[in-house]
Amino acid sequence: MSSFTGKTILITGGASGIGKIMGRMVLDRGAAHLVIWDLDKDALDRTAEELSSQGRVSSFKVDVSSLKDIQSAAAEMEKRHLQVDVLVNNAGVVVGTEFWNHSPEDIQWTMKVNTLAPMHITQCFLPQMMEKKGGHIVNISSAAGMVANPRMSVYVASKWALLGWSESLRIELEKMHPEVKVTAVTPSYISTGMFSGVKTHWISPIVTPEKAALKIIRGVEKNRMVVRMPWSVYLIPFMKGVLPLRWFDAIAGKWLKVYKSMDTFKGRKPQNNNTKK
């Protein structure tokens, strides 16, 4: 079992959505210091002020698509002697259109935020965790990291890569530094506005942000290797493993209508090219 008591927690994309809710939850669980990174300065300031009534909170305006921003924020934290015990790579973006409608900038932005940023941020803080023989890295991937879906091909690619890297990192650490834990999170759609307008089948309902945040926090406390939601997401690896691809397409696409879930996608207008879960 892991505990948040007395720990320093860093959450990216922590000014709103499940990032903000998780911040509140870790403070409720006795975290000594909550650090939030976000690009939206106004939301960042409001969240830091709101959560400061529960405990110590520091905020940094960071564009996680920028390696320079990441390294500058990490260096500033080092100057302040802030050593991260739990890193939650939560910030994420989605464009939500057919692949041919993506601009080169869309593709690079999605991959930088969803895939490269968690790697770069982890590289900044993992050495501290290994040195002090303790820590936890939480990577918020997606069910899209396990199953393809129309109108989100680049998002799928970014989350597929994130999930593969996260699982590989977990195995590496289990061999060399088992005291540092890794949890990969693969939720389906969460009702935070990031995927506004999507339609889902009853077997895979949209998850509320409160439920998602609580399940993630409990998963970290129990050192879960993976946290999936809703329950139907647990079926994906099994179904893909035993069914011929066309059968899987028929079940997921025609019966469960997964391949039509983005047809009515609206999302929310990105602020400064930053959208959070």
Instruction: Please tell me the pTM assigned to this model.
Output: 0.89
Instruction: Report the domain count for the chain.
Output: 1
- 266 in any annotated domain: no
pLDDT, position 236: 83
> From the centroid of its chain, how far is CA 141?
5
The answer to whether residues 117 and 73 touch, using CB atoms and an 8 Å cutoff, is no
Give the Cα-Cα-Cα angle 225, 231, 234 (nearest 5 degrees). 50
pLDDT, position 42: 97
Range of the domain at 105: 8-260
CA dist 93 → 64, 86, 227 (Å) = 11, 22, 20
CATH number at residue 176: 3.40.50.720
The answer to whether residues 180 and 127 touch, using CB atoms and an 8 Å cutoff, is no
The answer to whether residues 111 and 159 touch, using CB atoms and an 8 Å cutoff, is no
- 277 in any annotated domain: no
Give the Cα-Cα-Cα angle 157, 63, 135 (nearest 5 degrees). 75
User: Which of the residues are catalytic?
Assistant: 155
What pLDDT tens digit does each residue of the chain (277 aa) get?
Answer: 578 999 999 999 999 999 999 999 999 999 999 999 999 999 999 999 999 999 999 999 999 999 999 999 999 999 999 999 999 999 999 888 888 999 999 999 999 999 999 999 999 999 999 999 999 999 999 988 888 888 889 999 999 999 999 999 999 999 999 999 999 999 876 777 565 545 555 556 678 899 999 999 999 999 999 999 878 787 888 888 888 888 877 877 777 767 666 545 555 554 444 444 5
pLDDT, position 77: 98
Strands (E), 73-197: 86-89, 135-140, 180-187
